[in-house]
Amino acid sequence: MTGPPGPVTRPHPDHTAKSPTTQRRESAMPPIDRSDRDAARAEHSLLAELQPVVEENLHRHHEVAKEWFPHEYIPWSQGRDFEGPLDGAAWEPAEATLPEVARTSLVVNLLTEDNLPGYHFAVAEFGRDGAWGNWVNRWTAEEARHGTALRDYLLVTRAVDPRALERARMAHMEGGYDRPDGFSAVHAIAYAAFQELATRISHRNTGLASTDPVCDALLARIAADENLHMVFYRNLVEAAFELAPDTAMEVVRDVVTGFEMPGSTIKDFGRKSAEIALAGIYDLRLHHDSVVMPILRKLRVFEREGLGPAGEAAREELAGFLSKLDSQATSFTDRREGIRASRAKRAAAMAS
């Protein structure tokens, strides 16, 4: 599930997920007081100071990124015309041979990619020139490639109802994407570091859940791109800590405590994400252990010295949130085991 920054809000400490909505988010920017103006100037200055780091990491990305072609990963020989002007065969549910949860995860991933135009517009607002503008264009091109490949795979293999998929795409894109009020460029960078790693894990586990070697290979290729995106953004956050540690700490606090995936506005996202979590494709335990904590360790968030009062307060709040997130992840894992056991028992009873 790729995409640029989703909403970052300051949730209640027990907050772990937001209710999905298919409505376009509308909000009015509140009056900016002097402290807000000072903060905005500080973050604008920080973004300017990060430009050399952006350029350095853009060059690095070009050096390590591998060219690949979506059409080489699609089993075109399986394709047939669909009903319609070409008088092909109508889609039948029996043709969906992938496990249901794998199909659900693939569709969520694809619909998230479909909203790429909105993401690009939001991120490009922070600058269209220089290294940052070049990076945004490169990132957009790579993410668009992911959407192309996912849709081709789903349609060629008849893994999902093509009409339902198109209707879902239309509904999701008509909902639009709005960058949240107060969401700075530094927030965007930090959010993307966590989100790209989450996406990589989701893609890899979806591929494994598919039980289809072709799907697994495609998602592994996409996941490799997402990992490079994560490294790019993480390196920028690391540089931000060196330049403005208090600001960086507050931003990381905001992002981690308010994190949600950019596809959260997809219709029935709550139900779909619950299915995905129950299958172990992406859940709270993975989010805590494999996304949040590795990045925080790399950034040395809890080892850094020289923070001011604001930075120390943000770090303390972050630590408290992580403790609760860890407990919630453990509780979810325990509940999931019970649910799986109950389902297995029912399945055995029905089979006997």
Residues annotated in a binding site: 113, 143, 146, 196, 226, 229
Sign of the Cα pseudo-torsion (17, 19, 20, 21, in order): negative
Name the E strands within 35-81.
Answer: none
- For the CA atoms of 340, 341, 346, 352, the dihedral, rounded to the nearest 10 degrees, stands at 120
The answer to whether 221 touches 302, Cβ cutoff 8 Å, is no
Q: Which parts are annotated binding residues for Fe cation? A: 113, 143, 146, 196, 226, 229
Question: Closest by alpha carbon to 132, among 142, 140, 120, 124?
Answer: 124
In this structure, what DSSP letter does residue 129 have?
S
Give per-residue burial for 214-236: e unless 16+ CB within 10 Å, then b.
Answer: bbbebbebbbebbbbbbbbbbbb
In DSSP terms, 89 is beta-bridged to: 82
